[in-house]
Structure 1
Amino acid sequence: MDNRFDQDSYSDSSVSQPKWAEEVGLQTVDSDGLLRSVTVYIGPPSTALITLLDDGSLTEISGSDYLDCLIQARRQLERDGRLLCCQGARPDVHPSGQLRQFTNGRQAYVHFLDAGGEAPETVDIFDPAPPEDVVSLDDQRAAIIRAWNTRHPGNQIWPINQSRIVKAHRS
Structure 2
Amino acid sequence: MEVISVPVLNELHGKHNCSITYTSHRPIEVSISSPHFGTLTETGDSLFDALAKLRLQLEKSGWLLLCNVARRDAYPSQMMIQMALCRKIYLLKCGMPARRDDIVDIFGEAHPEQVGTVQEQSEYHSKWIKSLGSVE
Scaled by the length of structure 2, what TM-score is found?
0.82
Which residue is 2:33 aligned to? 53
Q: Sort the Cα spacing of 1:149 and 1:36 in 2 relative to 1 into closer, same or farther, 3 A.
A: same
The percent of aligned pairs where both chains have the same amino acid is 22
Report how far residue 55 of structure 1 moved. 1.3
Give the aligned length.
Answer: 133
Q: Deviations over 1:33-86 (max 9, x none)?
A: 821221101222x24111111217222221111111100110111000111111
Identify the range of structure 1 (117-126 vs 58-67) with the bigger mean alpha-carbon deviation. Answer: 117-126
Which residue is 2:124 aligned to? 143
**Which structure: larger Rg?**
1
Identify the range of structure 1 (126-135 vs 86-95) with the bigger mean alpha-carbon deviation. Answer: 126-135
Which residue is 1:102 aligned to? 83
Q: Is the 8 A contact 2:8 2:65 kept in 1?
A: yes
Q: Sort the Cα spacing of 1:65 and 1:142 in 2 relative to 1 into closer, same or farther, 3 A.
A: same
Q: Is the 8 A contact 2:94 2:127 kept in 1?
A: no
Please identify runs of 4+ aligned residues in structure 1 that moved more than 4 A.
Answer: 114-118
Structure 2: gaps spanning 5 or more residues: none
Structure 1 letter corresponding to 2:63: R
Q: Is the 8 A contact 1:87 1:127 kept in 2?
A: yes
After TM superposition, the structure 1 = structure 2 runs for residues 7-156 of structure 1, keeping only pairs within 5 Å, are 20=1, 22-31=2-11, 34-44=14-24, 46-47=25-26, 48-55=28-35, 57-113=38-94, 115=96, 118-153=99-134
Structure 1: gaps spanning 5 or more residues: 1-19, 154-171
Structure 2 letter corresponding to 1:135: G
- Bigger relative contact order (CA 8 A; separation at least 6): 2
Scaled by the length of structure 1, what TM-score is found?
0.67
Report how far residue 135 of structure 1 moved. 0.8
